[in-house]
Amino acid sequence: MGRDLVLANARLVLADRVVTGSLAVRDGRIAAVDDGLSTGGGIEDLEGDFLLPGLVELHTDHLESHFAPRPGVRWNPIAAVQAHDAQIAGSGITTVFDALRVGSDPDAEDAGRETRVLVDALNEARAEDRLRADHFLHLRCEVPAAVVVQEAEPLFALGAVRLASLMDHTPGQRQFVDLAQYRRYYQAKAGFGEAEMDAYVAYRQGVGIERASINRPKLVALAHAAGAILASHDDATAAHVAEAVAEGVSIAEFPTTVEAASAARAAGLKVLMGAPNVVRGGSHSGNAAASDLAERGLLDVLSSDYVPLSLIHAAFVLPERVSGLDLPAAVAFVTRNPAAAVGLHDRGALAPGLRADLVRVSHRPGHVPIVRAVWREGRRVA
Higher model confidence: residue 217 or residue 188? 217
Dump pLDDT digits (tens) for 361-370: 999 999 999 9
Q: Which top CATH class is 54-345?
A: alpha beta
pLDDT score, position 1: 46
Confirm if 369 and 363 have CB atoms less than 8 A apart. yes
pTM over 0.85: yes
Any bridge partners for residue 302, and if so which? Answer: 273
Nearest one of 261, 257, 299 to 278, comparing CA atoms: 299
Task: Quickly count: other Cβ atoms within 10 Å of residue 109's Cβ.
Answer: 10
In the predicted structure, residue 215 carries a pLDDT above the cut 70 = yes
What angle do the packed helices 148-157 and 194-226 form, to 10 degrees? 30
Residue 23 forms beta bridges with which residues? 7, 33
When the pLDDT of each residue in the chain is averaged and rounded to a whole number, the result is 91
Q: Which sequence spans correspond to the domains of the chain?
A: 54-345
Mean pLDDT of 290-301: 97
CA distance 291 to 273: 9
Omega into 106 within 30° of 0, i.e. cis? yes
Position 282 confidence tier, pLDDT thresholds 50, 70, 90: confident
The model's pLDDT over 321-354, given as tens digits with 9 standing for 90+, comes to: 999 999 999 999 999 999 999 999 999 999 999 9
| Gyration radius (Cα) of the chain, Å | 21
